[in-house]
Amino acid sequence: MSIISLTEEIHRRQSIAVGEQEKAQPQNRHTEDILFLVIQEILQEYSDVVQAVSLGTKEPVVLERLAARIIAERGYAMQGGYQGTIKGIVDHILRYGPLQDLIDDPKVTDIFVNGPQNVYKRVNNQDIFCPEIRFRDEKHLEQYIRAVLAKVGRRITQAECLVDTRDVRNHLRINAGIPPAAKTPYLCIRKHIVADFTAEDFRRSGTFTPEIEEFLALALRARLNTLIAGPTGSGKTTLMRFLASHFIPDDERIVVMEEEEELRIPHQNQVALEAKKKAGEDDVEITLDDLVRNGLRMAMRRMLLGEFRGKEAFALIRAFGTGHDGGIVTVHANDLYNAVDQIAVMMLYANTPLKYEHLKLLIAQAINLIVYMENYRITDIAFVAGYDHQRQEVLLEPVFETERDAAGNLVYVRHPLSDAARKLFWRRGVVVQ
């Protein structure tokens, strides 16, 4: 004789007693109603349980039993199948429900929920409408946003109606808003995709050529302080991870500093530091500036900063200019010269008494090489040749530039290195052609 689940048998009998009126309702809509009501109650009344299961301190079966008990107590009729509905509730709370397929798709880099029936995905830097993903109304979308934030231990309320956080386990950055700050509830999810791309992958996709790869390898071997610049989503972090993984020797101890963990460099001899936001009145915030200053005391061979964001630029540029060579850092910029300007502006945040032109002089003395990227393709590489005091500009010497040939194809133009650049390589024990 098989064992019968008492809870499931109760719901089977309740479903029979519902009558013809319940049977006439659309099956999918009825199941959706149950999902919505149960999930809403769990999020409002048992958010501590959701957080505990999400953090792994409790097993998912605890949430399954909670959902089953709520269904039994409320007398909900199970037209969509008992186990299927329970699974749908748990998946919706612990995973990402209607957005899970987009999160699992490696081609999707960003997900934008602009409204209940307004969902887009970003693939190859192009936003594509997803008509198959719909929320019932704004209330349903807001309830879904609360479920997403509950997974990472955050809440969204009318008092705190804009939230920026991340899902560490799934490598996601989450930004969400509800009224009154947002006219319509919205959700933005950015995926931090970490893939072990090989040099062949980059060459095949057109990120760089063998000649550029060889030059960058020599630059890293010569311990040039390298700045990788480009707009959002241009591939800066991906390139930085490749360079650090392949061209920094394992016996060189490195420190990796990030506001949010993205790089995950497979380097054995490293210390990885991450900034921390203040979580309460008694908590302490740890900024990128704190990480950089701490890194200076760790006797590291190389310092790697995920991205310049603020006043930490002043501390790191000073470090690069006073003997801490071989570092790598990225910055958001529109071109090579704009990258220098962006760093100088961020250095001003440190409330230094130095003037703007003095800060640019420090940059010229600290950064040796600038690599500029667009759409996962290196377009320019320039050597920092010094500072023009009269024009108050950092001098950049092109090493590689992108031009179009007669057929309209993008091609690289190689420029000879100056004597100063060759001398720097030679002093670091590297010979370049």
Residue 406: pLDDT over 60:
yes
> Cis ω on the peptide bond leading into residue 210 (within 30° of 0)?
no
Most confident of 121-125, 223-227, 283-287, 405-409: 223-227
**Would you give the end-to-end CA distance of the chain in angstroms?**
82
pLDDT recorded at residue 8? 53
> What's the rounded Cα separation, in Å, for the pair 289 and 350?
9
Nearest Cα residue to 110 out of 123, 100, 98: 123
pLDDT recorded at residue 168? 80
Domain 199-427 part of CATH 3.40.1800.10? no
Mean per-residue pLDDT over the chain, rounded: 86
pLDDT recorded at residue 151? 79
Of 31-35, 60-64, 245-249, 386-390, the least confident: 31-35
pTM for the complete prediction? 0.76
Nearest Cα residue to 303 out of 356, 349, 263, 337: 263
Query: Which ranges in the chain are annotated with CATH 3.30.450.90?
Result: 97-191
Residues 332 and 307 sit within 8 Å (Cβ to Cβ): yes
Query: Which ranges in the chain are annotated with CATH 3.40.50.300?
Result: 199-427
pLDDT recorded at residue 57? 81
pLDDT recorded at residue 280? 62
Residues 390 and 248 sit within 8 Å (Cβ to Cβ): no
Token duo for residue 6? 């008492």
pLDDT range class, residue 12, cuts 50, 70, 90:
low
CATH number at 97-191: 3.30.450.90
pLDDT range class, residue 25, cuts 50, 70, 90:
very low
- Write out pLDDT tens, residues 143-200: 889 889 887 878 899 889 999 988 888 889 999 999 999 999 999 999 877 667 889 9
Residue 294: pLDDT over 80:
yes
- Work out the burial of residue 228: count CB atoms within 10 Å of its CB; fewer than 13 is exposed, 13-18 middle, 19 or more buried: buried
Q: Give CA separation, 317 vs 295, 298, 407, in Å.
A: 13, 17, 42
Q: Give CA separation, 379 vs 330, 332, 376, in Å.
A: 15, 15, 9
For residues 65-80, one letter each, b for 16 or more C-beta atoms within 10 angstroms of the residue's C-beta and e for the rest, the string is ebbbebbeeeebbbbb
> What's the rounded Cα separation, in Å, for the pair 308 and 292?
11
> What's the rounded Cα separation, in Å, for the pair 206 and 114?
33
> What's the rounded Cα separation, in Å, for the pair 371 and 238?
13
Q: Over pLDDT 70: what percentage of the chain?
A: 89
> What's the rounded Cα separation, in Å, for the pair 221 and 214?
11
Q: Which residue has the higher pLDDT, 313 or 56?
A: 313
- Write out pLDDT tens, residues 74-107: 777 665 567 777 877 887 777 888 898 899 898 8
Residue 23: pLDDT over 60:
no
Q: Give CA separation, 140 vs 21, 36, 327, 366, in Å.
A: 25, 7, 48, 52
Residue 407: pLDDT over 80:
no
pLDDT recorded at residue 367? 97
Residue 424: pLDDT over 60:
yes
The DSSP bridge partners found for residue 112 are 120, 188
Q: What are phi and psi of 168, to 5 degrees?
A: -65, -40
